[in-house]
Amino acid sequence: MENLRSVPIAALDPDQQRQRSVVSPVFDHAEPSGEQPRSSSTPPPYWQPSREPSFDELSSTRPPPIALEDHTLSREPSRAALWAKSITIDEYVIVQGNPTGVGAYVVYNINVQTLDGGPMTIRKRYSEFDELRAKLVKAFPQSTRSSLPPLPPKSAIYKFRPKFLEKRREGLAYFLNCVMLNPEYAGSPIVKDFIFPPHA
């Protein structure tokens, strides 16, 4: 049979023209060798319908909003526990014992400036500071590990020498500021009994 695909359709007789019209051009669009025709059942990505996420969906992935609170006029328990503004130990006094010096001790004069504006002066021995710290460590075992400094060291040899007493005065003042300006300690009965002894 003559190859009808290579002959112009106008040169064919009527029977050949009808035969040419039913020939299917199957091979005109054949895929390259070894490749499968693309399936039309799955549309390309840009054909997929899209929409903006809803507010509820966005809210479920966002962190919670920041809440602003005004505490300028509040009296929190921790703040209300503070009643001292500053604490200083300006001087010390050596209290003499008997003529041989036995029984002598040192008293430290503590000046406390309260938040209400009224000053007060108390006198304490080193042993009373030592007792205060021991009670705080027992009452606040977790907090005192990081917020309570040690007391200045003791010395049986230099305990009445001016240089030693001056260093001790500075160390006791620092310790007392860490205690009385800390809300956790300042409001405790332990500190109140130190400042205002029940037997006084």
For residue 100, the SS3 value is coil
Phi then psi for residue 7, to 5 deg, are: -105, 130
Enter the tokens of residue 167: 């260093």
Nearest to 134 by CA among 179, 199, 71, 77: 179
Asked if residue 182 has pLDDT above 80, the reply is yes
What pLDDT does residue 162 have? Answer: 96
What pLDDT sits at residue 143? 87
Side-chain-side CA neighbours of residue 61 (13 Å): 5
Pick the most confident of 79-83, 107-111, 143-147, 154-158: 107-111
Taking alpha carbons only, the member of 152, 79, 156 closest to residue 115 is 79
Give tens-digit pLDDT for 79-136.
Answer: 567 889 999 999 999 998 887 778 899 999 999 999 988 899 999 999 999 999 999 9
Q: What is the mean pLDDT of residues 41-66?
A: 52
Query: Is residue 155 over pLDDT 60?
Result: yes
For 114, the 3-state DSSP assignment is strand
As a whole number of angstroms, the distance between CA 122 and CA 107 comes to: 10
* Record: fold of 83-195: PX Domain (3.30.1520)
Half-sphere exposure of 79 (CA within 13 A, CB side): 6
User: pLDDT tens, 3-52?
Assistant: 545 555 555 566 655 555 554 444 444 445 555 555 555 555 545 555 65
Alpha-carbon gap, residue 46 to 30, rounded angstroms: 26
How would residue 196 be classed by pLDDT, with cut points 50, 70 and 90? confident
Averaged over 53-61, what is the pLDDT? 53
* One-letter amino acid of 117: G
